[in-house]
Structure 1
Amino acid sequence: MATPEYTPFVFLLLLFQSSVWGFPVCQTPQESPTCGYKSCHATKPGMLNVHLVPHTHDDVGWLKTVDQYFYGDRNDIQHAGVQYILDSVVDQLLKNPDRRFIYVETAFFYRWWKQQTDDMQNTVKQLVNEGRLEFVNGGWCMSDEATTHYSAVIDQMTMGLRFLNDTFGHCGRPRVAWHIDPFGHAREHASMFAQMGYDGFFFGRLDYQDRNRRMVAREQEMLWRASESLTPPMADLFTGILPNGYNPPEGFCWDQSCDDPPIRDDPDLEDYNVDDVVTRFLHIAHGQALVYKTNHIIMTMGSDFQYENANLWYKNLDKLIRYVNQMQSNGSEVNVLYSTPSCYLQELHRANLTWPLKGDDFFPYADSAHDFWTGYFTSRPALKRYERISNSYLQTCKQLEVLGGPISRKGPFGAGDSETLKKAMAVAQHHDAVSGTEKQHVANDYARKLANGWAHCQVPTIYISLLSVSMFLCQFSVNVYNPLARPVSWPVRLPVNGTAYRISDAKGKAVDSQVVPVSQATAAVRRGRGYAVNELLFQVQAPPLGYSTYSVSLLQNGPPSPQSSPLPRAPKAVQNKFLRVTFDPETGLLSSLSNLETQQTVKLSQNFYWYNASDGNNSESIQMSGAYIFRPNTSTPFIISKTAKIETLQNSVVQEVRQWFSPWVSQVVRLYTDSRALELEWTVGPVPIGDDLGKEVISRLDSSINSSGVFYTDSNGREVLQRRKDYRPTWNLRQSEPIAGNYYPINSRAYIKDDKDQLTVVTDRSQGGGSIQDGSLEIMLHRRLLYDDVRGVGEPLNETSDIYPEGLVVRGRHLLSLSPPATAADTHRPLAQEVVLQPLITFTDGELHPSTRLEFSGLQAVLPPAVHLLTVSQWDQDTVLLRLEHQYQASESKEHSQPVTVNLQKLFSTLDVLGVSEMNLSANQWKDEMTRLDWKKPLPKRGGDPSVWEVSLKPMEIRTFLLRVRQR
């Protein structure tokens, strides 16, 4: 029970624990005399300067778990031990001051750093201060770009960069973003990197046709204009494509995992090969120079988990530099040097050239004609959903640690408990984590880490499970916390055995509720793990950044009432005051969707299909479908059933049409009384493989909308990009895979439209999809494959579990809205936001203490609809990290695509804001001190005057602040 003095926070404190990083507020950087651009080796004008970049690419989980990779365990799977790499590199850097090394993944470096002695830490700090060890990218991991949500990416980047800033100061700040392995590149990532203060961005993978064209045109380096809304150069980012992915040139790999011969430079010994090595290197360097614009080229000297014995690399690189440069005395115009990506970038900047502009993204990625890496947009759909709801839970935890004040940091786990979930979520953003491209035991480990993080964000002795509350208690409370900055209305469904309940809201007012029988599909999914026969349905309202409490009392036990039983037939229509949905009486399928407010109607059918996954036995290509690659054997999917078995359930809270298409595919078409969106809750699995065929299961919507081969997808949950069938904006596409080559990542929503109608689908996780026919939108739900796609994982994507040994069952939701194109964003933006940051529902047994406050908002007033509270997080003891986001694009909404102003002093109801300083997006630099290389014109600075409380936000702008606060 709550005590009176803590009643405003009773549920905050009972159900959550906070964490406070032990890092101080970002200090004003002191200019180092040698690090950064000042530490670069001199180059030679008039020569071809070859920048050798020693590096290692250390996946934060892939074939082995994060822990196994760090310690070097399970080398029977892959020989890799990150701790030994860092040990060895530091040792070798100390032997020659000319040597350089870059490191990327802060998650690994953080672990290694904690194990070092004070002397070793001081040694490493000196290497960093001298620019000999340089951090690039600097996030907790190198995130995936297709399946990650921007809020989680910002969090993981902030975590990694904060550690580097706190540990190494100015010299630890990366100047270059480095995504050498992700499988396609999102425009929103480039926009975020620009706003984080990076001067440039380098990556390794792009479509083979795109690369070929760019090589001929010498356009492998460009200026990426990564936002249509932000004023240039705010989201402009210089971007370079690396020549060999992230590998060294052929024949020049000198790691213990490589087979290339070392440089044998004693003429008195057998197999002297210096002349051959120099000749081959010069040939490669001159060839590479032909496809880049300046007299500077870059070579990545390293690869996956290399440099465990750094002496092998550095001994040969020292010789390579010496012998190639000796040829200058014979007229050679090639100069080789140890370098870093930032030093290479500096030389490109000094060239003062005009660079081509790019405005779209780098999806989809194909490495040859039949090898499109579009399968991972959907791979491991259950893990993708778990990651998404974990992100929502983490944002809630961070808010509550701020709103709850110091008392909230005194829990059974001690201070810092939510740090576990922060780290788990950061690791989950890795390009072989949420992407679904890891081995099964590694996917299990990611899920385990997330579950452990959840446990540390709550008080387990107080938290009561949903099933035990609703099934066995006669009286309990439902506590609904809303992490959004506006009120939400949310449907609640609780498993119960009772048949009648009395529900009252925080003001004591009765709430309409209904009890309905559990569907056959839900009972089947449970596999005997739950015994509730009914579901209790009611609608809740929650204030912005706050909670509301609903009291529930059992009125009647017994069998379900006859009027609550579903009817075994399809209705002609279901409707509320906003939408009307009709069904074909013969097939039981959707037939139309109407917006009653705007008097719009479109023909609309929906069904489930599956593509036969290629097994590689094909005359055109031996490529199989796998975790990465989607390759159907035919362009025509197989329909699962042309008709659906139907049950209809209608009451005052919800109308449901329950559809069964096969023993392994079912769906509920659901319309709540006050909803502007139609819900399609699909259940797929176990996907049958008795016919020895892998299957890729889709939901397809076919409408009367004249979409003209165009559809739209979001980029990491933010800005929307136009997609056109069989088309790429930057080259003339030769389409070789008509299905897979037209699939794109859908992180939160996609839509088709014509002049009158826009049909939007909001997803509850990242998925792949496309518009193969006009008026059609298909989204891949589940993949079960029998072959590996030969991209390194070494096992098929064939998910099973102890509960589902015959194949994983996955359930999810699509929300459909129909609007005029001019106003559609006013519906789908907030709808997608509610799915990403959904209310958190918890439970309390018995009657509440009379002094318990049943409703609370952490805001003084509702924020304008255009404003999203992206981040509210405890930064230091008296400091809060705040991000405010304008969530509309320019010209997207007549009403909301306008600048908006927020007063920081009038924001929180429980905090007095005493001071404010503006940061860059990743909160590792003061905004007014953030300078970037000027590729066109000076970057405008925004002041951090603490006397200015009025914050203006333009469309798509995110502004980040450190607030000095006092608890009221």
Structure 2
Amino acid sequence: CFIAERQDNPLLFDFNVEVRVNDFIAAAMIQANVTRTNHIMWNMGDDFQYQYAESWFKQMDKLIHYVNKDGRINALYSTPSMYTDAKYAANETWPLKLDDYFPYADSPNAYWTGFYTSRPAFKRYIRLLSGYYLAARQLEYLMGRRSTSNANTDGLGNALGIAQHHDAVTGTAKQHTTNDYVKRLAIGASETETVVDSALSCLLDSKLNGQCAGSTVIFSQVVVAYNSLGWDRTDIIRIPVNDHNLVVKDSTGEVVESQYVEVDSVTSKLRKFYVEAYTGTSDKHAPKYWLVFSASVPPLGWNTYFISKESQKGNITHGFMSTMDLPKKETIEIGPGNLKLSFSSSSGQLKRMFNSKTGIDIPVQQSYLWYASSQGDADPQASGAYIFRPNGSPPSVVSRSVPLKIVRGPLVDEVHQQFSSWIYQIIRVYRDKDHAEVEFTIGPIPTDDSIGKEVITRFTANMVTDKVFYTDSNARDFLKRVRDYRADWPLTVTQPVAGNYYPINLGIYIEDNKSEFSVLVDGATGGSSINDGEIELMLHRRMIYDDSRGVGEALDEFVCVNNTCEGLTVRGNYYISINEPGAGARWRRTTGQEIYSPLLLAFSHEDSRTWKSSHLTRATTMEANYSLPFNVALITLQELVDGSVLVRLAHLYEAGEDPDYSKLAKVELKKMFGGKTIKTLKETSLSANQDKSEMTRKAWKVDKGETNSEPAPVRGRPVDFSSLIVELGPMEIRTFIITF
């Protein structure tokens, strides 16, 4: 980048046009010598060069003028589409690249793999609100933008859009800038709550017949669960309560099996601290229990559950109080359903996972460790918000002996593990789930020793994986990763850990000829398989030094109460499953959707009989008995400002990923929009700003010997307006604008 000013007045001693033109042309020729065709893309500027845009463009104008006057090359302002058209017009052949560019580095010890995890609480907040936004837009559409108390979801949408900036969700902004992102998200979420409350009130009110006015209902005794997925689902609801003498009934009046789990002390302390930190008041009504029950909800619909005080007559109890189990044997087994987890009572560590339904049995251990962050050495590169650079020593194991607490019940078993004063974990195994849910609480990370720490959890399974593991790409397809290897060039390994880290938005898995071991996440993070049979996730980071990539401050998040500050504590979840070879895709795809789009809950105080007489307690907005295929997700359902409706449908599976679901899927729009008449339907580009009919795909020529061995992708045919059936091939996303 040519930052020095172009001085073009020949009467001045610092006249340098000829020098700068020669420098420019020499650099252009170096790039041209490794680029096919005579067109090269010249990226002008960097993060901070356009702070003084007028001066910068003036210098570029001069440079272009004098370079073109020289005549050896031609320079012009261009766009990505103009550049692509010029490359295509050259009729050249090209090498074929099937993978991505991760991980990347700008020097041998500077891998940009730290930002995958930086600011994990912020990343998770964005993920939670993204799922909430998806559901809220559906509800906004179902009741109409003009019917939801003059509020709308635009504020949250805008805030989420801003948060996708490459220095926002990445965690690579200054702290005060990140605070601004969070504030915008919180304001948008608050506005969207008004939409959700109003829409649910209207949808449930059987007397309004779709004519919705603003609602004054205060959403606790009546629980409404809304399902934003396109298929029936059964999931667990956990509600904090102070009473263990409650009964849960469904919309038909049938008693629903429930279980009480005491709120653990770590959660109570965490809640107390952050309530005081962010509200300035003490938490006087902290819940004592989690009320746990299973809810079944139709697609794009809702179901209602009623929680009331249990009658004291007789000794009948409908809720099960969880029991505490003191370890008596060397091996402790938990799991009320098919999945069983075994722990050592002496070390407190996980030993084994076994699924009685599939017969898959894997010895597996879990541990928490931390990498010591490099402060720089002969190479001054430090670990920071962007860069992950451990100091070269093996990661430190947090604890080899972990105190255990076992909680058992008919719906869920829990194992509580205290790895240290700043790492706490709860593993939950539900009766009707074939995976384990892990809730971690990490922080404040101690830095009294002036050493930055990058905290990971590591699973070690008895599997032969031959350096291979798989991570998702944008939560869509899974890409094969090979440790210490790059498909495009011979890799010189300078950072054996950081150089093998990859971004994870959905999950990571390993496999051999006997089984698959998968981990799904609830927020963006980084992970790898540093040794065969291992999976590790980085969950939290706290630095002492800046990594000199523009942030200008160390990644050191903290929270203050009464002028006392401590490092940030983060909480999150990940989910682990074992499957037969080739069978894990169904779990990853379905459970991944359920993690991203949890049941949306609303609450109201009202007598159940009164509620039932005036509200629809269970309904779907689709045609009765219709649901989307299990390999299709409704990723957008949104009413636009002009009253039209934006719809995006996505095939969830890759070609060849599953024998049944990696096939052409069909969605019947007439049944999906039951009770509505579609007047017009227009297919558009993914971004919905161009008609599909106006789009043309370029047919690039590929070098000999580099043809893609995979068959041509299956794609859905144009939609016939008489049948209104949308076809989707594997990994295909189709976008439509519809009017009713």
Question: Do the aligned partners of residues 963 and 778 (structure 1) sit closer, same or farther apart at CA in structure 2, a change above 3 Å counting?
Answer: same
Aligned-pair distance for 1:504?
0.4
Q: Is the contact between residue 823 and residue 894 of structure 1 (CA under 8 Å) also seen in structure 2?
A: no
Q: Deviations over 1:729-749 (max 9, x none)?
A: 111111111111111111111
* Matching residue of 2:604: 844
Aligned-pair distance for 1:781?
0.6
Q: Secondary structure of the residue that 1:358 maps to in structure 2?
A: coil
Structure 2 Cα separation of the partners of residues 552 and 941 of structure 1: 46
Q: Please give the residue correspondences for 1:629-644 in structure 2 after superposition, counting only pairs within 5 Å.
A: 629-644=387-402
Structure 1 Cα separation of the partners of residues 7 and 219 of structure 2: 79
Residue in structure 2 matching 1:550, options 293, 302, 305? 305
* Matching residue of 1:324: 67
Q: Deviations over 1:694-744 (max 9, x none)?
A: 111111101111111111111111000011111111111111111111111
Question: Do the aligned partners of residues 520 and 898 (structure 1) sit closer, same or farther apart at CA in structure 2, a change above 3 Å counting?
Answer: same
**TM-score, length-normalised on structure 1?**
0.68
Aligned-pair distance for 1:314?
4.7
Structure 1 Cα separation of the partners of residues 526 and 94 of structure 2: 32
Q: Is the contact between residue 927 and residue 943 of structure 1 (CA under 8 Å) also seen in structure 2?
A: no
Aligned-pair distance for 1:756?
1.3
Residue in structure 2 matching 1:602, options 343, 359, 362? 362
Q: Secondary structure of the residue that 1:368 maps to in structure 2?
A: coil
Residue in structure 2 matching 1:280, options 8, 23, 30? 23
* Matching residue of 2:486: 728
Q: Is the contact between residue 260 and residue 321 of structure 2 (CA under 8 Å) also seen in structure 1?
A: no
Aligned-pair distance for 1:932?
3.7
Unaligned stretches of 5+ residues in structure 1: 1-247, 254-259, 464-472
Aligned-pair distance for 1:338?
3.8
Q: Deviations over 1:112-167 (max 9, x none)?
A: xxxxxxxxxxxxxxxxxxxxxxxxxxxxxxxxxxxxxxxxxxxxxxxxxxxxxxxx
Q: Deviations over 1:927-962 (max 9, x none)?
A: 122124442499999646533512211111111111
Q: Please give the residue correspondences for 1:292-691 in structure 2 after superposition, counting only pairs within 5 Å.
A: 292-304=35-47, 306=49, 310-328=53-71, 333-404=72-143, 406=144, 409-412=146-149, 414=150, 417-459=152-194, 476-527=221-272, 529=275, 530=283, 531-555=286-310, 564-569=322-327, 572-616=332-376, 618-619=377-378, 621-691=379-449
Question: Do the aligned partners of residues 942 and 490 (structure 1) sit closer, same or farther apart at CA in structure 2, a change above 3 Å counting?
Answer: closer
Q: Is the contact between residue 664 and residue 716 of structure 2 (CA under 8 Å) also seen in structure 1?
A: no
Q: Deviations over 1:825-851 (max 9, x none)?
A: 111210111001111112112325322
Structure 2 Cα separation of the partners of residues 658 and 584 of structure 1: 13
One-letter amino acid of the structure 2 residue matched with residue 791 of structure 1: R
Structure 2 Cα separation of the partners of residues 868 and 462 of structure 1: 24
Structure 2 Cα separation of the partners of residues 284 and 599 of structure 1: 62
Q: Is the contact between residue 426 and residue 439 of structure 2 (CA under 8 Å) also seen in structure 1?
A: yes
1:719 aligns with 2:477: yes
* Matching residue of 2:278: none
Aligned-pair distance for 1:809?
0.9
Question: Do the aligned partners of residues 864 and 461 (structure 1) sit closer, same or farther apart at CA in structure 2, a change above 3 Å counting?
Answer: closer
Structure 2 Cα separation of the partners of residues 726 and 556 of structure 1: 64
Comparing 916-925 and 598-607, the one that deviates more? 916-925
**TM-score, length-normalised on structure 2?**
0.88
Q: Is the contact between residue 889 and residue 955 of structure 1 (CA under 8 Å) also seen in structure 2?
A: yes
Structure 1 Cα separation of the partners of residues 47 and 381 of structure 2: 24
Q: Is the contact between residue 103 and residue 499 of structure 2 (CA under 8 Å) also seen in structure 1?
A: yes
Aligned-pair distance for 1:300?
2.9
* Matching residue of 1:809: 569
Q: Is the contact between residue 140 and residue 195 of structure 2 (CA under 8 Å) also seen in structure 1?
A: no
Aligned-pair distance for 1:462?
6.3
Q: Deviations over 1:806-836 (max 9, x none)?
A: 1111111111111112211111210111001
Q: Deviations over 1:444-474 (max 9, x none)?
A: 11111111111111229969xxxxxxxxx99
Question: Do the aligned partners of residues 709 and 349 (structure 1) sit closer, same or farther apart at CA in structure 2, a change above 3 Å counting?
Answer: same
Aligned-pair distance for 1:608?
0.7
Question: Do the aligned partners of residues 743 and 270 (structure 1) sit closer, same or farther apart at CA in structure 2, a change above 3 Å counting?
Answer: closer
* Matching residue of 1:853: 616
Q: Secondary structure of the residue that 1:728 maps to in structure 2?
A: coil
Structure 2 Cα separation of the partners of residues 319 and 500 of structure 1: 79
Aligned-pair distance for 1:281?
2.9
Question: Do the aligned partners of residues 512 and 318 (structure 1) sit closer, same or farther apart at CA in structure 2, a change above 3 Å counting?
Answer: closer
Q: Please give the residue correspondences for 1:177-196 in structure 2 after superposition, counting only pairs within 5 Å.
A: none
1:880 aligns with 2:637: no
Comparing 902-911 and 678-687, the one that deviates more? 902-911
Aligned-pair distance for 1:672?
1.1
1:895 aligns with 2:660: yes
Structure 2 Cα separation of the partners of residues 311 and 422 of structure 1: 32
* Matching residue of 1:953: 728
Q: Is the contact between residue 113 and residue 388 of structure 2 (CA under 8 Å) also seen in structure 1?
A: yes
Aligned-pair distance for 1:876?
4.5
* Matching residue of 1:122: none
* Matching residue of 1:777: 535
Q: Is the contact between residue 517 and residue 565 of structure 1 (CA under 8 Å) also seen in structure 2?
A: no
Q: Secondary structure of the residue that 2:363 maps to in structure 1?
A: strand
Question: Do the aligned partners of residues 322 and 423 (structure 1) sit closer, same or farther apart at CA in structure 2, a change above 3 Å counting?
Answer: closer
Q: Secondary structure of the residue that 1:277 maps to in structure 2?
A: helix
Structure 2 Cα separation of the partners of residues 314 and 562 of structure 1: 71
Q: Secondary structure of the residue that 2:324 maps to in structure 1?
A: coil
Unaligned stretches of 5+ residues in structure 2: 199-217, 276-282, 313-318, 703-711
* Matching residue of 2:738: 963
Question: Do the aligned partners of residues 508 and 787 (structure 1) sit closer, same or farther apart at CA in structure 2, a change above 3 Å counting?
Answer: same
Identity %: 41
Question: Do the aligned partners of residues 873 and 283 (structure 1) sit closer, same or farther apart at CA in structure 2, a change above 3 Å counting?
Answer: same
* Matching residue of 1:163: none
Q: Deviations over 1:564-618 (max 9, x none)?
A: 45234376201233211111121111110011111110001111111111111x3
* Matching residue of 1:46: none
Q: Is the contact between residue 484 and residue 500 of structure 2 (CA under 8 Å) also seen in structure 1?
A: yes
Question: Do the aligned partners of residues 838 and 296 (structure 1) sit closer, same or farther apart at CA in structure 2, a change above 3 Å counting?
Answer: same
Q: Secondary structure of the residue that 1:458 maps to in structure 2?
A: helix
Q: Deviations over 1:651-699 (max 9, x none)?
A: 1121111111111111111111111111111111111111211111111
Equivalent pairs counted in the alignment come to 686
